[in-house]
């Protein structure tokens, strides 16, 4: 088998393939509005590297007025949408070029493909010549064109291994001209009237719609047109072959008005003269095709003999065949509609028709996808969904070890593989518990062979990066989309290289010298990939404006981020550090786990000096040999969503008896105003829990106790009891606002309280701070009242101290905040910068030491 080095991938991801083809990831983008690399498709093609390497052009929606020339091998055009990405020109045979000569049939074409290994999908190619309007003109009208051939697509003599999928070819007379080589069309639409699929070349058409167009210039009883006009040389066994196609018609086309084809013997220059080619014994065949009532059978066609006299060529002298036709146009008169036998039909394989070439735009019959799902928290068996670039989906299941295999015949790469362990209601929504899910994008496919599509946290990060590059917020939205967008080759390459560079040293330490990626690694790398997959916490973030799962999140086992916030995230560790974090967690005598929201959580270095108090506490106790802080707080989470969004489930395998569990929620639980514009109903569905009544009674909609803040907190207490942990409840830290809702001190002493509103947005309201106290008292759990302690500390420091505690920074010093909340003129009164986080962390330590119920913990500080 041939080794194929992925274009541009410097570390050397290898593809072992039995059939090489262009990677279906775009190199450049074309957009009419000037927002992309090029404004014209021709400019993009002309800018391709001269080395003949695969070159993919992504064309955004628009009408491109171009007569396109493709003479470079290995070009792949991908349109954004078949019916909205249109390449068009208006040129008919008898129109004149600038030099005064007629264009002729060949010159009339909109797109000329005269190269090898060309591919195109999801676009329209049309010749905009208005045939009906032309025919409506009077015979003496000087603007009436006599030569009405108007080719949309011409595959020239050098055209070979040319493939199309999900394309629309549209004209009237002579829409598609296959002059040379072998061409393949799948799931496409071709429309026309006279001889609108014709030529000398071999073309295989599968699963396509062949549309006969209406016209108003035909006398009653005469033919409207002919589907094909093959000029196949007698030495070539196959010409124009249609399998599993639908021969349909436009409205107004009468019954018995279109022929399946007629024999074209093109006038050709020979040594003894110029006349109809006697060796052009055309071949057209229809197998398993649906035919509407406009089809009447085959027809004859005229030509010129050596003396320029008209002669007729008849269908019975050609190679015209049908097999298993059906529908109103399927008449089986054996004399006029010759039928293939079953034995003959079985020879019409893709390989036979296309002389051994297997198009890769639709994967062949022997194409298989297999892989393994590696994830520290997933349950197996899991469901597998494979989606191709045009939206075709296949499903399967893994075995108990997470392995799967299935056929991918007919699919169009790249392929998105999604694994869902079905432990929740959905991979995308989190009103209730979300499933654990991960994905991988399979770019390099072994056509007619076996392809690896492994799924793990690192492959999911690559998908997340590619989604973000295309303006899509997370892998699961790709899984839910009708079809996949085109993906950037550069983004895929960068994301893959980021992984390779991070884990290359770790692999080398285990005696593995080859580079590898998280999707196509082979069996001998299984132990390494299993190990590092077990050493990360993988999940997906939450998009506040939609309530849906978003981009991939990766942390080590102590919940410290291991990727930055770049569009294509870089790893902020090396692979060895994952194992070190795992070992530290395992060997620590006692661990203090923190669950909560953004006021406590860890942050990437990108957003410094923003910091959560839990992050600061971890740093303060970093050298403590008796206690390890595991700060699992997450930004934007409420007590309910922290569980439904599957952050809390990561705790189960990490905690051990005797550990401490600090629980601090409120900020996002308060988001219960259903009348708030845009986000209100989303917040209520996903984040909201309701506080207790003034009498200390839980409040929640009937039958939905999970909407009670107290009941939600008690789920954490139940977990602590089950795992023999020491739970501690903390009231939420305050916001930097006064009682009059102004910025600064003295801080409002009444915080985290919702009140009845005139818009009726709150179904229940009350004090979240008091609810935390109620819950601690009812369950006999230690309480740290951090709200009152932070208020007192801030007030004591005076007028402007809040600007050094909460996030109010100079964007000249911290450019990240140039256009974000948290800068001096637009401070963030909820989140802390480093100084404030450290103040809160020290207050937490002080409260632990002063709480008699936590004396055992205090001894470890």
- Set 166, 195, 388, 774: catalytic member: 195
The arithmetic mean of pLDDT across residues 722-749, rounded, is 95
Backbone conformation region of residue 261, classed left if phi is above 0, alpha if psi is from -120 to 50, else beta: left
Rg of the chain taking only CA atoms, in angstroms = 34
Rounded Cα distance, 457 and 377, in Å:
11
| Residue written as token pair 């009103």 | 431
**pLDDT greater at residue 853 or residue 3:** 853
Task: State residue 596's pLDDT score.
Answer: 98
- Using alpha carbons, select from 66, 61, 65 the residue that is nearest to residue 29: 61
Rounded Cα distance, 207 and 185, in Å:
8
Task: State residue 569's pLDDT score.
Answer: 97
Rounded Cα distance, 488 and 300, in Å:
50
- Using alpha carbons, select from 829, 839, 805 the residue that is nearest to residue 609: 805
The arithmetic mean of pLDDT across residues 326-354, rounded, is 92
Rounded Cα distance, 232 and 313, in Å:
14
Q: Would residue 522 show up in a list of annotated catalytic residues for this protein?
A: no
Name the 3-class secondary structure at 99. Answer: coil
Task: State residue 334's pLDDT score.
Answer: 64
Q: Would residue 195 show up in a list of annotated catalytic residues for this protein?
A: yes
The percent of residues in the chain predicted with pLDDT above 70, rounded, is 97
Asked if 636 contacts 668 with a C-beta cutoff of 8 angstroms, the reply is yes
Asked if 21 contacts 360 with a C-beta cutoff of 8 angstroms, the reply is yes
* Ramachandran angles phi, psi of 91, nearest 5°: -140, 125
Rounded Cα distance, 512 and 664, in Å:
45
Task: State residue 335's pLDDT score.
Answer: 72
Tens digits of per-residue pLDDT, 207-247? 999 999 999 999 999 999 999 999 999 999 999 999 999 99
Rounded Cα distance, 581 and 583, in Å:
5
Task: State residue 265's pLDDT score.
Answer: 98
The length of the chain in residues reads 861
The percent of residues in the chain predicted with pLDDT above 90, rounded, is 93
Q: What is the mean pLDDT of the chain?
A: 95
The arithmetic mean of pLDDT across residues 146-156, rounded, is 97
Tens digits of per-residue pLDDT, 3-47? 333 344 443 333 333 344 457 999 999 999 999 999 999 999 999
pTM over 0.75: yes
Q: In this structure, how many other beta carbons lie within 10 angstroms of the beta carbon of residue 226? A: 24
Tens digits of per-residue pLDDT, 470-528? 999 999 999 999 999 999 999 999 999 999 999 998 888 888 877 899 999 989 899 99
Q: In this structure, how many other beta carbons lie within 10 angstroms of the beta carbon of residue 200? A: 22
Tens digits of per-residue pLDDT, 274-285? 999 999 999 999
- Set 174, 292, 517, 774: catalytic member: 174
Task: State residue 185's pLDDT score.
Answer: 98
Tens digits of per-residue pLDDT, 777-813? 999 999 999 999 999 999 998 778 889 999 999 999 9
Asked if 597 contacts 641 with a C-beta cutoff of 8 angstroms, the reply is no
């Amino acid at each position: 088998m041939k080794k194929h080095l992925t274009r541009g991938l410097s570390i050397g991801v290898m593809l072992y393939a039995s059939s090489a083809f262009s990677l279906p990831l775009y190199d450049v983008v074309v957009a009419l509005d000037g927002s992309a690399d090029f404004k014209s498709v021709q400019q993009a093609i002309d800018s391709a590297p001269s080395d003949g390497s695969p070159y993919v052009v992504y064309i955004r929606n628009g009408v491109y007025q171009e007569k396109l020339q493709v003479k470079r091998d290995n070009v792949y055009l991908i349109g954004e949408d078949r019916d909205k990405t249109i390449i068009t020109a208006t040129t008919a045979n008898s129109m004149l070029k600038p030099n005064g000569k007629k264009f002729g049939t060949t010159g009339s074409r909109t797109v000329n493909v005269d190269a090898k290994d060309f591919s195109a999908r999801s676009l329209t190619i049309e010749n905009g010549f208005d045939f009906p309007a032309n025919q409506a003109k009077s015979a003496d009208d000087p603007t009436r064109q006599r030569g009405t051939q108007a080719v949309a697509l011409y595959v020239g003599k050098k055209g070979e291994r040319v493939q199309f999928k999900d394309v629309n070819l549209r004209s009237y007379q002579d829409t598609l001209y296959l002059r040379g080589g072998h061409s393949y069309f799948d799931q496409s639409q071709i429309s026309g009237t006279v001889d609108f699929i014709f030529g000398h070349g071999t073309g295989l058409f599968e699963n396509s719609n062949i549309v006969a167009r209406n016209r108003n210039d035909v006398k009653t009883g005469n033919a409207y047109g002919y589907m094909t006009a093959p000029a196949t040389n007698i030495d070539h066994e196959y010409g124009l072959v249609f399998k599993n196609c639908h021969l349909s018609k436009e409205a107004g086309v009468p019954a018995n008005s279109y022929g399946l084809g007629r024999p074209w013997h093109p006038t050709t220059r020979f040594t003894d003269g110029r006349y109809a080619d006697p060796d052009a014994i055309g071949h057209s065949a229809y197998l398993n095709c649906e035919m509407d009532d406009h089809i009447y059978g085959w027809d004859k066609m005229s030509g010129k003999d050596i003396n320029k006299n008209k002669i007729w060529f008849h269908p019975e002298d050609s190679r015209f065949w049908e097999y298993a036709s059906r529908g109103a146009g399927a008449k089986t008169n054996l004399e006029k509609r010759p039928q293939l036998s079953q034995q003959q039909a079985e020879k019409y394989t893709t390989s036979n028709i296309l002389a051994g070439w297997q198009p890769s735009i639709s994967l062949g019959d022997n194409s298989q996808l297999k892989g393994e799902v590696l994830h520290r928290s997933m349950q197996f068996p899991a469901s597998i969904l494979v989606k191709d670039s045009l939206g075709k989906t296949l499903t399967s299941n893994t075995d108990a070890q997470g392995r799967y295999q299935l056929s991918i015949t007919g699919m169009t790469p790249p392929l998105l593989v999604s694994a869902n362990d079905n432990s929740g209601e959905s991979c995308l929504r989190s009103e209730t518990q979300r499933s654990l899910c991960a994905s991988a994008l399979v770019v390099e496919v072994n056509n007619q062979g076996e392809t690896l599509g492994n799924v793990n946290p690192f492959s999911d990060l690559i998908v997340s990066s590619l989604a973000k590059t295309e303006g899509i917020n997370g892998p699961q939205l790709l899984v839910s989309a009708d079809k996949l967008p085109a993906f950037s080759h550069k983004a895929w390459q960068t994301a893959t290289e980021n992984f390779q560079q991070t884990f290359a040293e770790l692999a080398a330490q285990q005696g593995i010298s080859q580079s590898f990626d998280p999707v196509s690694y082979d069996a001998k790398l299984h132990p390494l990939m299993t190990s590092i997959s077990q050493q990360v916490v993988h999940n997906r973030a939450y998009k506040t404006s939609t309530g849906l799962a978003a981009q991939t999140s990766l942390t080590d086992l102590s919940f410290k981020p291991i990727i930055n916030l770049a569009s294509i995230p870089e790893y902020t560790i090396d692979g060895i550090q994952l194992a070190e974090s795992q070992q530290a967690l395992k060997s620590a005598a006692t661990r203090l786990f923190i669950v909560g929201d953004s006021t406590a959580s860890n942050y990437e270095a990108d957003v410094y000096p923003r910091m959560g108090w839990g992050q600061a506490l971890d740093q303060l106790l970093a050298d403590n040999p008796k206690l390890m802080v595991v700060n699992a707080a997450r930004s934007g989470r409420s007590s309910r969503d922290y569980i439904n969004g599957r952050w809390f489930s990561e705790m189960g395998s990490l905690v051990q008896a005797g550990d401490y569990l600090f629980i601090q929620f409120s900020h996002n639980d308060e988001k219960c105003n259903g009348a708030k514009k845009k986000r209100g109903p989303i917040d209520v569905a996903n984040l909201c829990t309701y506080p207790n009544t003034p009498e200390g009674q839980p409040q929640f909609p009937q039958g939905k106790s999970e909407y009670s803040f107290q009941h939600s907190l008690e789920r954490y207490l139940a977990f602590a009891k089950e795992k023999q942990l020491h739970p501690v409840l903390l009231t939420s830290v305050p916001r930097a606002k006064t009682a009059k809702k102004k910025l600064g001190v003295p801080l409002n002493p009444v915080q985290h309280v919702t009140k009845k509103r005139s818009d009726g947005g709150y179904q229940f309201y009350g004090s979240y701070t008091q609810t935390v106290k109620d819950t601690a008292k009812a369950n006999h759990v230690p309480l740290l009242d951090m709200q009152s302690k932070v208020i007192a500390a801030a007030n004591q420091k005076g007028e402007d101290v809040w600007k050094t505690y909460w996030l109010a920074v100079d964007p000249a010093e911290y450019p990240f905040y140039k256009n974000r909340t948290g800068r001096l003129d637009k401070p963030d009164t909820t989140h802390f910068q480093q100084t404030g986080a450290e103040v809160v962390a020290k207050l937490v330590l002080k409260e632990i030491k002063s709480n008699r119920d936590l004396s055992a913990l205090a001894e470890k500080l």
